[in-house]
Amino acid sequence: MNYKFSNFNARATMLLLVIGAVSINAAAQKKGDAEEVAKASKQVSKASNVLNEMMKKPDDFIPQNLLQKAEAIAVFPGVIKAAFLVGGRGGDGLVVKRTPTGWSDPIFYNLGGASFGPQIGIKETDYIMLFMNEGAVENLAKDKFEFGGDVSFAAGPVGRTAGAGTDAKLSAGILTWSRSKGAFVGASIKGAVISPDNDRNLAVYGVKADQLMLHPGEMKRTGVPEPISNFSNTVASYAGK
């Protein structure tokens, strides 16, 4: 009887090892997916343009002192918002996290959500989000989270002189801005949902967003395309190390 039980345990252990190896191999096979890596590079390039344009007129846009205090920065360039009575938005973006050795490489996310009411039209909007403390950053390790539902936020102040009314807003943890045309403005994005784009994360890094968020210091890896790996330098030039 003991022999049979031991033999069963051995077979069960072997089966688990095989399943684990298949799972790891499936993830590894996704790394380097040419189409997803190309999309990731294009996405990072768009986000770099948004950051550079944002800082051209610091008196009109996001205060740089807030960038320098942020624990993580999210950029969602060119989010499409369409509405005909029932509205929705969708777009790709990325998050970089501050680490003891500098900014991480970008982790890829999606932005979605729906809205209801008498509305009509289509527009393209850039979104910037600053995560001001570790509690806010922890939301990024979830499968998804909703602004105004799972997490509190505040519309970010604009301009170099906007710091006076900022302290109360910082208690929300996340400050948000949007730009459809012209300057950035503080944005209320209640109902927006952020979720990881793990197809893209697996293609670039070989691991999912939650692991990247937990171990951001390990993200400087070989084989990452130059536009992606250099994005943290662009962020550091504005937000410090």
Burial tier of 30 (Cβ tally within 10 Å: 0-12, 13-18, 19+): middle
145 pLDDT more than 80: yes
* SS3 label, residue 86: strand
Instruction: Give residue 185's pLDDT.
Output: 67
The answer to whether 97 and 216 have CB atoms below 8 angstroms apart is: yes
Residue 189 φ then ψ, to 5°: -120, 40
Higher pLDDT, 135 or 11: 135
The one-letter amino acid code at 67 reads L
Residue 196: other Cβ atoms inside 10 A = 22
Instruction: Give residue 179's pLDDT.
Output: 83
Residue 50 φ then ψ, to 5°: -60, -45
pLDDT digits (tens, 9 = 90+) for 204-227: 998 899 888 887 655 455 567 788
Instruction: Give residue 190's pLDDT.
Output: 75
Helices (H), 31-155: 34-54, 64-69, 134-137
Segments making up each domain of the chain, as ranges: 1-30, 33-239
The one-letter amino acid code at 37 reads V
pLDDT digits (tens, 9 = 90+) for 33-73: 889 899 999 999 999 999 888 877 666 678 888 888 899 99
Quote the mean pLDDT of the chain.
Answer: 75
Mean predicted confidence (pLDDT) in 171-177: 81
Two structure tokens written together for 44: 């990072």
Instruction: Give residue 191's pLDDT.
Output: 76
Closest CA to 63 of 71, 73, 54: 54
